[in-house]
Structures are given as C-alpha cells and as structure tokens.
Structure 1
Amino acid sequence: MATITVTTTADSGSGSLREAISKAQSGDTIKFSSNLANQKITLTGGQLTVKQSITLDGSGVSNLTINGNSSTRILAVEKFLNVNIKNLNFTNGRITGAGGAGEGGAIQVRDYSTLTVENSKFTNNSASRGGQFVLAMAAD
C-alpha cells in the first residue's frame, strides 16, 4: 500500500490526478500537495476511471475542487471495488445518454462496489439519470 501525491492541477501528465489514478494499486492512497489548496483540477480528457480499490484523500488541502468542465462525468468506479473519498469538492460534472451511459454526473459506481464519501461537497453536477452520483447494479 503506497501513497501517491498529486502535485499539479493539470488533467494529465506527471503529477496529475489522472496519472495517479492510472498508476494506483489496490489499497493505495492518493493525496494532494498542499500547494493545490483553493485550486481546481479541470478535466479536459474525459472522466477519471478507478479500476482499483483506493482512497482519494484531500485532507490538509483546503477547498480542492475536481471540475468536470460541464462536459464529462467526473469519476467512474469499476466493478467489485472499495473506494473512499475524503475532503474533496466535485463540481460541474455532466453526463447525458440513455441507460448506464447517462448515470451519475459526478460519480458513477458500478456493480458491487462500495463508495464511502466523507466531508466532501457536490455542486452543479447533472446527469440524464442519477444527478450527483449513482450506484449502478447489473441485472441477474
């Protein structure tokens, strides 16, 4: 279990949240550098997809916001994961479409995953179905 630190508000590249999520292994914690306080990470490359059980922890970094730029869902959590989110703000997530494609403007949680959110804010997120976030379960 490692700690990965996000050091930039850039949407991609070294030190970005997108890179941290893609490199994270199950059990890792992603933290944020204190120089990101009162900053926005604006997504320009589509949603962030979580494929491992991780923690996103904004503790100690006041008012850090992940911004969907009114053009994308912010976070998609894949199947069978445990994801924890602490002390982060999610704004301007937006997704449209039919069925699962249009669920959860800020966060979509897939089959049998668990999402725990602490001390975080969700504002101005929209979706065709599910608004701020949605837990999507497959039919048997």
Structure 2
Amino acid sequence: DCSTREVYEEGTKEIALFVVSEIYCECTIAIFAYGQISSGTTYIMNRIIEFTVTDIYDYMQKTIESLAHEFIWKDNKITLSASVNFVDLARSERAYQALSVGKRLKEGCPINRSLLTLGMVIHKLRLIACFLHQLSKTSGFTAA
C-alpha cells in the first residue's frame, strides 16, 4: 500500500523528467497505467498527470533557456519537440485472473483485443526503428 504521490515519485517522475531533459532529441514517450477494475489506475493516472505536468513546467523553466541557446549556437534555429502520452488501460486485465463474468467480461474483450493490437504495433515499430538504425550505420553515405 502506498499513496498516489509515492507511485508517482518512485515510478513515473524519473521517466517524465528524462523526456524533458532530452527534449532536444525530439523524443516521444508513453506511460501506461495497468491494473484490475477498481484497483485505482484511473485515479492514479490522473494524479500522475497532474504531478508530471507540474514537474515538467518547473524543469523547463530552469533548463529551456540553456537548451535553446545550445541549439541556436549549433544551427541558428530552435527545434524543440517532445511528446508525453499518458494511457489509462482501465479494464485491461486477464478475465480469468480478475474473475470477470457477464457484463464486465463483455466490456473487457474488445479492450484486450485492442491492447494485443497495440502491443503488435509497438513491436513492429521497434523492429523498423532497429532496422533503420542499422541501415544508417552501414550506409556508405553516412560512414565517416
């Protein structure tokens, strides 16, 4: 048992602030909340978003100027871009483990099917990214 703030401090804050610290790399991140029905994931996700936005704002106030100067010095333009996506996977647990029956079981089926598809898409995107990275490393155009 722990508070929402502890979940955020121990699990999500470091990831969210890493995204901001690497903002000049134009990175994208997704944070997923997963748990059984009535386990508090939706409540926790709402609190995490609130805490994260506050921390990101504070962090950016302290660092964005130095990042902008760094980019102006390098290529005479500022291109800062990052994306943080928060996804609440409410009702996305195994039916057998959650002892779901009736209406709850019916609600969970399409959600779990969508999660399976999401997992396959993420896996394929990872494979494509690895392939493109390897291709750029071995290309005669990019070799030093």
TM-score computed with the length of structure 1 as normaliser: 0.26
Could you say which structure has the greater relative contact order, defined with CA pairs below 8 angstroms and 6 or more residues apart? 2
Name whichever structure is richer in helix by fraction.
Answer: 2
Larger Rg: 2
TM-score computed with the length of structure 2 as normaliser: 0.26
